[in-house]
Amino acid sequence: MTTRATPLLLLHTWGGSAATWGPALGHLGVGGRHLKALDLPGHGARASEPFTVDGAVEATVEAASAYADGAGSVDVAGSGLGALVALALAQRHPDRVRSLTLVGFPPAGGAEAARRPADTRAALERDGAALFARNYVDSTLLSADPAHRDLLRRAMAGTRPEVLLDSLRATLGWTAHTQAGPLTVPCQVLRGARDHRVSAASADALAERLGGAGAVVPGAGHVAYLDEPEAFATVLAAFHDGLRTAPAD
């Protein structure tokens, strides 16, 4: 079975939900490919649940088992928070993952990142969930399509503040939930060309650390799959096609 025929598991960005993959699904599913966009715990249809990295990884294991091909594995693409979960999944359960794509990752570190959970809590308490979500989307998404922006706004506004804070802390503290060193599965670190939250240098360094490749989505910002869904799908397809045609070891 070719890599492109392998089911594709999609893990959403911070404050998002499975629904935020909607604009990209038509492009990613060309040829009838089986796709599964997953709500992580605490998000979307699972909004009443708490968020932990361990719980999110187990949810992806269950989804991978349900949607795996005959070899028992899936291609996984995760953005932001979803990239953290995808990376932890590939490291803890490599038998479930045929290939890995990390998007809009890793998060910036330093003093500004250290202040971000407290700043986010203060903004949520001051503005409320709906205004916080609008401000975040307006400062993050580059897509001019109001439907794309509304998808992330509604998902974030419907996510409980404690889940936003717990998942933000987990994402910023990603090195505590993952391991150093190369992966045992093919990996791509994908960055929007206009991403102001993840630098090209940090994305390239992560790709090198994981033994993977780097790639860029033209015109996209931090949430590449919502900013430029067709271009995102094209870059992802090229990665999977390259795996399909690569010579065996």
pLDDT digits (tens, 9 = 90+) for 210-230: 999 999 999 999 999 999 999
pLDDT digits (tens, 9 = 90+) for 74-107: 999 999 999 999 999 999 999 999 999 999 999 9
How far apart, in whole angstroms, are the C-alpha atoms of residue 224 and residue 197? 12
Q: Give the pLDDT score at 71.
A: 54
- 83-103 exposure pattern, b = at least 16 Cβ within 10 A, e = fewer: bbbbbbbbbbbeebbbbbbbb
Q: Where are the domains of the chain?
A: 8-244
Q: Which residues contact 42 (CB under 8 A, 6 or more apart)?
A: 49, 50, 51, 159, 160, 163, 166, 167
pLDDT at residue 129 above 60?
yes
**CATH annotation of 8-244:** 3.40.50.1820
Q: Which amino acid is at 133?
A: A
C-alpha pair distances (Å), 179 with each of 68, 101, 107, 137, 205: 25, 16, 16, 31, 15
pLDDT digits (tens, 9 = 90+) for 162-195: 999 999 999 999 999 999 899 999 999 999 999 9
Q: Give the pLDDT score at 67.
A: 79
pLDDT digits (tens, 9 = 90+) for 30-78: 888 899 999 999 999 999 999 999 999 999 999 888 877 555 789 999 9
Residue 2: pLDDT band by 50, 70, 90 thresholds? very low
Tokens read off for 238: 């090229």
Q: Give the pLDDT score at 69.
A: 53
